[in-house]
Amino acid sequence: MDIKSYVLKMAKEAKEGARAIANVSSGLKSKVLIKMAEALEAESGMLIKANKKDIEGAKKKGLSKALIDRLTLNKKRVKEMAQGLREVSALPDPVGEIEKMKQRPNGMMVGRMRVPIGVIGIIYESRPNVTADATGLCLKAGNAVILRGGSEAINSNKAIVNILRSVAKKHGIHEGVITFIDIPDREAIMELLKLEGIVDLIIPRGGEGLIRAVTENSRIPVLKHYKGVCHVFVDRDADLKMAEDICFNAKVQRPGTCNAMETMLVDKKIAKTFLPGMIKRFKKAGVKLKGCPESTKLDASLTPVNEDDFYREYLDLILNVRIVKDMDDAVRHIAKYSSAHSDAIVTTNHEKAMRFLREVDSSAVFVNASTRLNDGYQFGLGAEIGIATDKIHARGPMGLEELTCMKFIVLGNGQVRE
């Protein structure tokens, strides 16, 4: 079978699966997710064996140590994968919720019902745990999932999918709810992206290159997350001790994440008071600091920052420092350089806090809290399938609700259009 026909066949199977899962009870969905977790743990020996093949292949290809670490499954990681499924199982089922039911002048009731999206394609890179995580979230929200993992993890992914599918089948759930594209060629992705009308949504998870390629070629809506160039603005009216703790946490607690701070903006009025202590604390933690001309005047040890740096997502212990005239200047800087992911202000001034909330157009805007808190668990959504930096359908952490949509429902007693 050629690639095009194969992908189409998989997608059609997923569509069948989507029809079947849409009306499966919450109780059965929860139960099956727990059974899947148990099966992953029971088969962890087999999973680790399959994973070994991938690791050998990766070593032969000369992949980096970091990539091989991402790829690796061990007992602990299999347990974490299983635990993820149990957590999703315990979340409330969003499907079937009815909202905003109102009576219209002609007597009919009009409202909205939350329903699954249908078939969701997940295109991801090396981590095999995404296979189980994405499946759990999609299924719980009543969707079928088409998985297309990285070629370097193909043995691990296939092993995980086989376990999940056999549990589904055993509990009378159509196997099409989990389909896996078992072809390493990039052409398979390109064919999948053309299947509008069968596939309802594409979620790419991985580096910027993958996400751009998917966006440029997809006829299907894409929910995506580019990079996180996040800011903390320390206002002249900030509690400076609080500001120091927030900035330190936003940069240092886990610098390799998308919601870590890349540029710290400091109000000119308090720069002299605030910066020396802050810089000392950063340096002690091994942070390399790049400064604007004004801040290098204050502290000559800072490397000069250039304009390109303001667009960079370091994902590392590197930080840009810029002194700004006032909040307006900070808001302008953020409008220009931010990736619209997570941006924060530290201030005791109510009016500025409210203005910052309104005027900064990012997926999450913080007053007096660390950007590192932009996360599905922290926000109370439970597990997330990613953080959307787009503005359509979902923005910020995407949990179960973001994997559903609302249809209109009308209850009448004979109403017609006059």
Judged by CB under 8 A, the chain residues 198 through 227 that form the site for its own copies are 200-201, 215-216, 219, 221-223
Tell me the site size for its own copies, rule CB under 8 A.
72
Beta strands in 215-341, from DSSP E residues, in sequence order: 230-234, 261-267, 288-291, 303-304, 318-324
Interface positions, 307-346, toward its own copies (CB under 8 A): 335
Interface positions, 281-300, toward its own copies (CB under 8 A): none
Residue 242 interacts with its own copies (CB under 8 A): yes or no? yes
Question: Amino acid identity, residue 205?
Answer: R
Instruction: Tell me the window of 42-50, 155-163, 306-314, 400-408 that interacts with its own copies (CB under 8 A).
Output: 400-408
CB 413 → its own copies: shortest distance, Å? 5
Query: Of 110, 210, 270, 317, which one interacts with its own copies (CB under 8 A)?
Result: 110
Residue 76 interacts with its own copies (CB under 8 A): yes or no? no
Helix axes 26-42, 44-61, angle to 10 degrees: 70
Cβ-in-10-Å burial (0-12, 13-18, 19+) of 315 comes to middle
Query: Of 251, 395, 398, 400, which one interacts with its own copies (CB under 8 A)?
Result: 395
Nearer to its own copies, 131 or 338 (CB): 338
For residues 263 and 320, is the Cβ–Cβ distance under 8 A?
yes
CB 251 → its own copies: shortest distance, Å? 11
102's tokens? 């109102």
Helix axes 26-42, 129-140, angle to 10 degrees: 170
Distance CA 153, CA 71 (A): 7
CB 308 → its own copies: shortest distance, Å? 17
Residue 413 interacts with its own copies (CB under 8 A): yes or no? yes
CB 410 → its own copies: shortest distance, Å? 4
Q: Which residues contact 206 (CB under 8 A, 6 or more apart)?
A: 123, 124, 125, 150
Instruction: Tell me the window of 24-32, 67-75, 283-291, 362-370 that interacts with its own copies (CB under 8 A).
Output: 362-370
Nearer to its own copies, 152 or 244 (CB): 244
- Cα first-last separation, the chain: 54
CB 253 → its own copies: shortest distance, Å? 5
For residues 220 and 199, is the Cβ–Cβ distance under 8 A?
yes
Residue 26 interacts with its own copies (CB under 8 A): yes or no? no
Residue 4 interacts with its own copies (CB under 8 A): yes or no? no
Residue 1 interacts with its own copies (CB under 8 A): yes or no? no
Residue 366 interacts with its own copies (CB under 8 A): yes or no? yes
Distance CA 122, CA 300 (A): 48
Interface positions, 254-283, toward its own copies (CB under 8 A): 254
Residue 66 interacts with its own copies (CB under 8 A): yes or no? no
Residue 239 interacts with its own copies (CB under 8 A): yes or no? yes
Residue 131 interacts with its own copies (CB under 8 A): yes or no? no
Question: Amino acid identity, residue 71?
Answer: L
CB 258 → its own copies: shortest distance, Å? 13
42's tokens? 């029971």
Interface positions, 80-99, toward its own copies (CB under 8 A): 96
Note every long-range contact of 247-251, with CB atoms under 8 Å and residues 24 or more positions apart, other chains counting. Answer: 247/278, 247/346, 248/278, 248/281, 248/282, 248/285, 249/370, 249/372, 250/344, 250/370, 250/371, 250/372, 251/282, 251/287, 251/317, 251/319
Residue 27 interacts with its own copies (CB under 8 A): yes or no? no
Residue 353 interacts with its own copies (CB under 8 A): yes or no? yes
CB 279 → its own copies: shortest distance, Å? 19
